[in-house]
Amino acid sequence: MSDTLQVSGTLRPTPQRRTQSVRNHPATARPHGAEDAAVPGELVHRPRPEDVLITSWQRLGEGHFSLTGQWPHDHRYFAPSHGRHHLVLAGETIRQAGLLLSHSELGVPVGHHFILSDLVYTTHPEHTVSGSGPTPLIIDVRCSDTRMRAGALAGSRFDMTIRTGGRLIATGYSHVSVTSPGVYRRIRGERLTARSPQGPLSPPVPPELTGSATDREVLLSPTGRPDRWLLRIAPGHPTVVNPANDHVPGLALLDAALQAGRALLAPDRFVPFAFGTEFRRYAEHGTPCVIEARRIAPALPGTTTVEVIGAQDGEPVFTSTLTALDPSR
């Protein structure tokens, strides 16, 4: 974990720079009328086409890229709520953009493994969903602290800005390292064959506390304390759960942190605009993951900040910091 989590505050739109495309990858060529076609799912590690958020990319210069994407309006998991996009969407967009560029432009073969050490982003708190179709995106990506090994990316920081219609709606960054299948096997050892356990699920907390539509989308199980829960993973939640994963996916941890923040402050509404997470180790299948949330001093006046920590066997797995505008603002 190389950086301290921080909140960057409210974003202010800035003029979009004019850039010139140097090269389009062949996979970006799309038939007329297929503007919403997405990139191949294997390049963003998404087996279901409806979960792919990136639609094309191009290199603008050394370590500088421009991507297009879209945020869905009718997705079962990512659908907007109360006129706002799902907070996890910006983080998933950053994740997919980094994976795509690693495979398509930075020499990483499909099948290599990525270790995300952090994911920090801020969305524009006043951005709301408009229209009845997908929200088109322009994503500017700059790579720094890049390490190459044998012509392929070994690690990098990806900084991104996300715009729609010329308006800045999110900024963020992540640090990524890459490992080969052989090294990953040695790291994971006997856990490489672990899969999400089958059997009865633990009971959920009431969906209205977490902002979930149904019980099966609730990722928290009660412990008898209003600030502490156990992670629960419903197998019928295909966007969050990939049965082939040997550990709990990071997207599930992000959503669990968001749900914990909402549950902690219920019945008050908690709508974060900034979300920072440090991943310290894999969340393992079959081991209880304790999720705890607490209010902490906000970094900005007029905001509420919640820290969420997930732990297994007493060791931290992740730490998330979520910040929302106070309801009175």
205-237 pLDDT, tens digit per residue, is 999 999 988 888 899 999 999 999 999 987 667
Residues 235 and 175 in one domain: no
- Give the tokens for residue 168: 């800045």
Query: Residue 246 — pLDDT band, cuts 50, 70, 90?
Result: very high
Chain-centroid distance of CA 64 in Å reads 21
Whether residue 18 lies inside any domain: the answer is no
Residues 106 and 199 in one domain: no
Q: Which residues 6+ apart lie within 8 Å of 74 measured at CB? A: none
* 267 vs 139: CA distance, rounded Å: 35
Q: How much is the average pLDDT of 183-195?
A: 94
Q: Domain end: 156, 182, 208, which one?
A: 182
Q: How much is the average pLDDT of 93-110?
A: 98
* 74 vs 180: CA distance, rounded Å: 36
- Give the tokens for residue 219: 């990722």
Return the CATH number at 212.
3.10.129.10
Q: What is the pLDDT of residue 132?
A: 81
Residues 200 and 172 in one domain: no
Q: What is the pLDDT of residue 280?
A: 97
Whether residue 11 lies inside any domain: the answer is no
Q: Domain end: 182, 205, 233, which one?
A: 182
Q: Domain end: 143, 161, 182, which one?
A: 182
Q: Which residues 6+ apart lie within 8 Å of 168 measured at CB? A: 11, 12, 13, 14, 124, 161, 162
Residues 175 and 212 in one domain: no
Whether residue 189 lies inside any domain: the answer is no
* 316 vs 290: CA distance, rounded Å: 9
Residues 199 and 321 in one domain: yes
Residues 215 and 160 in one domain: no
Tell me the pairing of strands 64-71 and 54-61. Answer: antiparallel
Q: Counting every residue, how long is the chain?
A: 329
Residues 204 and 96 in one domain: no
Closest C-alpha to 97, from 165, 46, 132, 134:
46
Whether residue 267 lies inside any domain: the answer is yes
Kindly tell me if the per-residue pLDDT of 158 is higher than 50.
yes
Whether residue 13 lies inside any domain: the answer is no
Whether residue 17 lies inside any domain: the answer is no
Assign residue 71 a region (left: φ > 0; alpha: ψ between -120 and 50; beta: otherwise).
beta
Query: Residue 283 — pLDDT band, cuts 50, 70, 90?
Result: very high
Residues 278 and 137 in one domain: no
Residues 125 and 170 in one domain: yes
Q: What is the pLDDT of residue 328?
A: 66
Kindly compute the dihedral angle of the four CA atoms of residues 27, 30, 31, 35, in this order, to the nearest 10 degrees: 160
Whether residue 14 lies inside any domain: the answer is no
Q: What is the pLDDT of residue 237?
A: 73
* 151 vs 53: CA distance, rounded Å: 27
Helix (H, G, I), strand (E, B) or coil at 103: helix
Q: What is the pLDDT of residue 15?
A: 31
CB 275 within 8 A of CB 292: no
Residues 152 and 202 in one domain: no
The pLDDT > 70 percentage for the chain reads 88
Domain count, the chain: 2
Q: What is the pLDDT of residue 199?
A: 75
**The tokens 């990139």 sit on which residue?**
39
Q: What is the pLDDT of residue 37?
A: 62
Q: What is the pLDDT of residue 232?
A: 94
Whether residue 12 lies inside any domain: the answer is no
* 302 vs 272: CA distance, rounded Å: 13
* 49 vs 282: CA distance, rounded Å: 26
Closest C-alpha to 46, from 17, 22, 16, 78:
78
Q: What is the pLDDT of residue 33?
A: 32
Residues 69 and 89 in one domain: yes
Closest C-alpha to 49, from 34, 61, 31, 37:
37
Helix (H, G, I), strand (E, B) or coil at 208: helix
Domain of residue 89, residue span: 23-182
Chain-centroid distance of CA 123 in Å reads 13
Residues 168 and 200 in one domain: no
